[in-house]
């Protein structure tokens, strides 16, 4: 398995001069053939802007992108026949039926699959004669996916593909993605559903404000995060906590004590021993193992706090 | 969507890049044919465009030829005026207006953006948008010639010039359609944004030019697209010698060519593929 997509110092910005907004800022990453890779981030994090450079829809302002070893813009013909895309918004003609739409798309592909089987694959076989304008939002997303699949892609770009789907449709779409992945298709998914990334992706990159802040396997990312032990606690009680725990803890105004720990089992044992010795009833006691959600929100908090610190330093610099 | 079972003929996504030999995968039609067929299908479902594009272009020359015929045998001038009226209508309301409306609708639906993510080239997408208008313009032109024959009118003396008028006019008004679509928000507002081109076309008609006083305005109007296309139609039915027709047709042919090149260049620069 070699590298199938490579981004080197990719930068993309919008707007002229002073109003310039940097959507992607010197991002470098490599995606291996056959990988299920997730690009995560909030709205405006730069996921779609980065993905568009990989899809060959635009050239980055700086940096280089290679897909299957070639520039996806300059060598569009070589690359495009091997990729399928699902965009954030649809783009299907409302007056055509489902089958007519897919037939049209099929006619533009170099190596297309039969229409009927692709419609069955996305479970729209019984809607073949329905006009696109009469489909539900979820059905339109599935037809969009069918258009991406009809060209038998080697790389599938999915830009928030399950937005607007109900929970059942989301789950079944996931199993379709898993099947495509097991068939050897390289999948690049952008999503802001962390559970989606956790279920599907082998490796992820967390984007925030145009930068990739964290990347790796979910296990690696999660492992670097602390577990959380929490319980109700008064300030007087908190002050009697063993030093080892108090140093890692935070007491909120709502009298909630939170201990962030990399060694949850040992610290929990110490906590319970201390509570037993002091005859305390630890109400609402919880021990939560690290999750992708925690990693993500911790990252966002860190970036925002450092941003606030910079702003504050700049402000104090201006006033001094 | 449940996971497909093993008996379901699901296409493997990792098929070889060359054309499939899979018997379940029928040969695909050429890209342009596929896109054009989809456009024709959608056109046939739009009742407004369908009536504007089929019944009216034929009703105009049919009525004019019938009126002229009721006054006696059809002259070359009468036939040329009827064909000119047809062509004015076909170029403006079939070619130009259909393309403004279709290109704008496809952009607003996101279809143009989506198609650009696929293998089809821009020129194929653009040509497909033009397909219904082109087919109707050529088809109704041929039927107009049949009408001339039915009403016993004279044949054109220089048919290639008549054909050049048709194809030159179609090129100019198709390109102007894409230019206009560039600043048209939606299909409804096309009725307003189309007005400059409709006026440009209207002033070039022989009857309008006939009532303009001689001077710089009429000289300028003589260079408008419909004016030169009309000149070519009238020359195509005139009783001049071959060489005289040829020499008289140089100016209108060059002007149509200049309009074609200029409007295509402007269309390429101003057409928008995405909604802002």
* Confidence check: pLDDT of B7 > 70: no
Tokens of B155: 């044949």
Per-residue pLDDT, B74: 87
- What percent of chain B has a predicted confidence (pLDDT) above 90? 72
pLDDT digits (tens, 9 = 90+) for B160-202: 999 999 999 999 999 999 999 999 998 889 989 999 999 999 9
Given CA atoms B161, B166, B171, B172 in this order, what sign does their dihedral have? positive
Cβ–Cβ under 8 Å, residues A127 and A198: no
Question: Is A140 in the B-facing interface, judged by CB distances under 8 Å?
Answer: no
Task: Report the candidate in A212, A198, A201, A188 with the shortest Cα–Cα distance to residue A31.
Answer: A188
Per-residue pLDDT, B250: 95
3-state helix, strand, coil in chain B (%, to 5): 70, 0, 30
Asked whether the beta carbons of residue A179 and residue B4 sit closer than 8 angstroms, the reply is: yes
Distance (Å) from the alpha carbon of A60 to chain B's nearest alpha carbon: 17
Tokens of A54: 């990989």
Cβ partners under 8 Å of residue B217, min gap 6? none
* Confidence check: pLDDT of B150 > 90: yes
- Tokens 């499939």 map to which residue? B20
- Rounded CA-CA distance A83/A5 in Å is 12
The reported pTM is: 0.81
pLDDT digits (tens, 9 = 90+) for A182-210: 999 999 999 888 888 988 999 999 998 89
Tokens of A129: 């004669």
Distance (Å) from the alpha carbon of B187 to chain A's nearest alpha carbon: 14
Asked whether the beta carbons of residue B106 and residue A93 sit closer than 8 angstroms, the reply is: yes
* Confidence check: pLDDT of B21 > 60: no
Per-residue pLDDT, B13: 44
Residues of chain B contacting A173 with CB distance shorter than 8 Å: 1
Q: Which whole number is the average pLDDT over B131-153?
A: 94
Asked whether the beta carbons of residue B14 and residue A104 sit closer than 8 angstroms, the reply is: no
Nearest CA in chain B to A172: B1
**Stretch among A29-38, B23-32, B60-69, B241-250 having the lowest mean pLDDT:** B23-32
- Rounded CA-CA distance B50/B48 in Å is 5
Tokens of A92: 């299907």
- Highest mean pLDDT among A41-45, B53-57, B258-262 belongs to B258-262
Per-residue pLDDT, A168: 85
- Rounded CA-CA distance B186/B103 in Å is 10
pLDDT digits (tens, 9 = 90+) for A14-57: 888 888 899 999 999 999 999 999 999 877 889 999 999 999 99
Residues of chain A contacting B1 with CB distance shorter than 8 Å: 122-123, 142, 169, 172-173, 175-176
Per-residue pLDDT, B6: 37
Which run of H or E residues covers position B111?
Answer: helix B111-115
Task: Report the candidate in A169, A167, A176, A174 with the shortest Cα–Cα distance to residue A146.
Answer: A176
Cβ–Cβ under 8 Å, residues A36 and A91: no
Q: Quick one: pLDDT band at residue B40, thresholds 50, 70, 90?
A: very high
Asked whether the beta carbons of residue A87 and residue B113 sit closer than 8 angstroms, the reply is: yes
Nearest CA in chain B to A119: B10
Each domain of chain A, given as residue ranges in start order, spans 3-217, 226-288
- What percent of chain A has a predicted confidence (pLDDT) above 70? 94
Select from 2.40.50.140, 3.40.50.300, 3.50.50.60, 3.40.50.620 the CATH code of A3-217.
3.40.50.300
- Tokens 């093993």 map to which residue? B6
Bridge partners, A215 (sequence order): A205
pLDDT digits (tens, 9 = 90+) for A147-163: 999 999 999 999 988 88
SS (H, E, C) chain A: CCEEEEEEEEEEEECCHHHCEEEEEEEEEEEECCCEEEEECCCCCCHHHHHHHHHCCCCCCEEEEEECCECCCCCHHHHHCCEEEECCCCCCCCCCEHHHHHHHHHCCCCCCCCHHHHHHHCCCHHHCCCEHHHCCHHHHHHHHHHHHHCCCCCEEEEECCCCCCCHHHHHHHHHHHHHHHHCCCEEEEEECCHHHHHHHCCEEEEEECCEEEEEEEHHHHHHCCCEEEEEECCHHHHHCCCHHHHCCEEECCCCEEEEEECCHHHHHHHHHHHHHHCCCCCCCCEEECCCHHHHHHHHHHHHHHHHHHHHHHHHHHHHC
- Rounded CA-CA distance A103/A109 in Å is 10
Nearest CA in chain A to B109: A91
Cβ partners under 8 Å of residue B126, min gap 6? B178
Question: Is A95 in the B-facing interface, judged by CB distances under 8 Å?
Answer: yes
Per-residue pLDDT, A307: 61
**Stretch among A8-12, B21-25, B217-221 having the lowest mean pLDDT:** B21-25
* Confidence check: pLDDT of A81 > 60: yes
Per-residue pLDDT, B147: 94
Per-residue pLDDT, B23: 45
Per-residue pLDDT, A311: 58
Asked whether the beta carbons of residue A104 and residue B38 sit closer than 8 angstroms, the reply is: yes
pLDDT digits (tens, 9 = 90+) for A256-278: 898 988 888 999 999 999 999 99
Q: Describe the strand order of the beta sheet including A249-251 as a list of residue ranges.
A: A249-251, A256-261, A227-232, A286-288
Q: Quick one: pLDDT band at residue A313, thresholds 50, 70, 90?
A: low
Question: Is A149 in the B-facing interface, judged by CB distances under 8 Å?
Answer: yes
Cβ partners under 8 Å of residue A240, min gap 6? A274, A278
pLDDT digits (tens, 9 = 90+) for B85-116: 999 999 999 999 999 999 999 999 999 999 99
Asked whether the beta carbons of residue B16 and residue A169 sit closer than 8 angstroms, the reply is: no
* Residues 5-24, chain A, touching B (beta carbon < 8 A): none
Each domain of chain B, given as residue ranges in start order, spans 31-270
Distance (Å) from the alpha carbon of B267 to chain A's nearest alpha carbon: 21
Phi, psi for residue A52 in degrees, rounded to 5: -60, -30
Q: Quick one: pLDDT band at residue B4, thresholds 50, 70, 90?
A: very low
Of A116, A176, A183, nearest to B14 by CB-CB distance is: A183
Q: Which whole number is the average pLDDT over B118-134?
A: 95
Phi, psi for residue B154 in degrees, rounded to 5: -70, 155
* Confidence check: pLDDT of A299 > 60: yes
Q: Quick one: pLDDT band at residue B248, thresholds 50, 70, 90?
A: very high
Interface test with B, best of A76, A113, A144, A154 (most B CBs within 10 A): A113
Cβ–Cβ under 8 Å, residues A49 and A12: yes
| Angle between the N-to-C axes of helices B31-44 and B122-150, in degrees from 0 to 180, rounded to the nearest 10 | 60
Q: Which whole number is the average pLDDT over B205-212?
A: 88
Per-residue pLDDT, A292: 79
């Amino acid at each position: 398995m070699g590298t199938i997509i490579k981004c080197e110092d990719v930068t993309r910005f919008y707007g002229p001069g002073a109003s310039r907004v940097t959507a992607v800022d010197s991002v470098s990453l490599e995606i291996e053939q056959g990988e299920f890779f997730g690009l995560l981030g909030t709205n405006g994090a730069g996921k779609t802007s980065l993905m568009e450079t990989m899809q060959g829809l635009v050239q980055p302002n700086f940096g280089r992108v290679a897909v299957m070893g070639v520039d996806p813009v300059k060598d569009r013909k070589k690359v495009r026949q091997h990729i399928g895309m699902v965009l954030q918004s649809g783009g299907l003609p409302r007056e055509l039926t489902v089958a007519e739409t897919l037939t049209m798309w099929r006619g533009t592909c170099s190596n297309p699959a039969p229409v009927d089987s692709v419609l069955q694959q996305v479970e729209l076989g019984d809607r073949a004669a329905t006009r696109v304008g009469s489909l539900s939002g979820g059905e339109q997303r599935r037809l969009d996916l069918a258009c991406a699949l009809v060209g038998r892609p080697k790389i599938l770009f999915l830009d928030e593909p399950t937005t607007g789907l109900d929970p059942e449709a989301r789950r079944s779409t996931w199993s379709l993605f898993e099947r495509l992945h097991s068939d050897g298709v390289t999948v690049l998914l952008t999503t802001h559903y962390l559970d989606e990334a956790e279920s599907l992706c082998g490796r992820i990159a967390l984007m925030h404000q145009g930068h990739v802040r964290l990347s790796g396997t979910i296990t690696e990312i999660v492992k670097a995060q602390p577990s959380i032990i929490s319980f109700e606690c008064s300030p007087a009680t908190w002050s009697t906590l063993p030093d080892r725990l108090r140093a890692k803890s935070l007491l909120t105004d709502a009298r909630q004590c939170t201990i962030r720990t990399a060694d949850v089992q040992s610290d929990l044992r110490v906590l319970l021993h201390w509570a037993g010795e002091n005859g305390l009833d630890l109400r609402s006691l919880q021990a939560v193992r690290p999750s992708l959600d925690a990693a993500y929100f911790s990252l966002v908090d860190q970036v925002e706090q450092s941003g606030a610190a910079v702003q504050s330093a700049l402000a104090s610099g201006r006033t001094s | 969507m449940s996971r497909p079972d093993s008996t379901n003929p699901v296409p493997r996504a990792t098929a070889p890049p060359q054309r499939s030999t899979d018997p379940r995968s029928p040969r695909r039609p050429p890209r342009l044919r596929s896109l054009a067929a989809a456009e024709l299908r959608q056109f046939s479902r739009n009742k407004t465009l369908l009536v504007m594009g089929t019944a009216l272009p034929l009703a105009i020359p049919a009525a004019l030829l019938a009126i002229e015929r009721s006054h006696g045998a059809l002259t070359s001038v009468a036939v040329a005026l009827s064909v000119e009226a047809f062509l004015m209508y076909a170029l403006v309301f079939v070619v130009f207006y259909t393309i403004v409306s279709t290109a704008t609708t496809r952009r607003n639906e996101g279809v143009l953006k989506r198609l650009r993510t696929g293998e089809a080239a821009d020129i194929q997408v653009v040509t497909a948008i033009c397909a219904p208008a082109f087919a109707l313009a050529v088809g109704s032109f041929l039927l107009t010639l049949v009408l001339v024959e039915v009403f016993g009118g004279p044949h054109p003396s220089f048919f290639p010039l008549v054909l050049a008028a048709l194809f030159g006019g179609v090129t100019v008004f198709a390109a102007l359609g894409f230019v206009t679509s560039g600043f048209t928000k939606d299909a409804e507002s096309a009725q307003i944004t189309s007005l400059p081109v409709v006026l440009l076309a209207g002033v070039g008609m022989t009857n309008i030019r006939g009532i303009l006083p001689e001077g710089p305005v009429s000289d300028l109007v003589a260079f408008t697209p419909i004016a030169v296309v009309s000149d070519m139609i009238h020359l195509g039915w005139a009783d001049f010698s071959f060489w005289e027709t040829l020499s008289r047709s140089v100016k209108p042919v060059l002007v149509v060519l200049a309009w074609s090149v200029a409007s295509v260049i402007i269309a390429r620069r101003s057409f928008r593929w995405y909604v802002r």
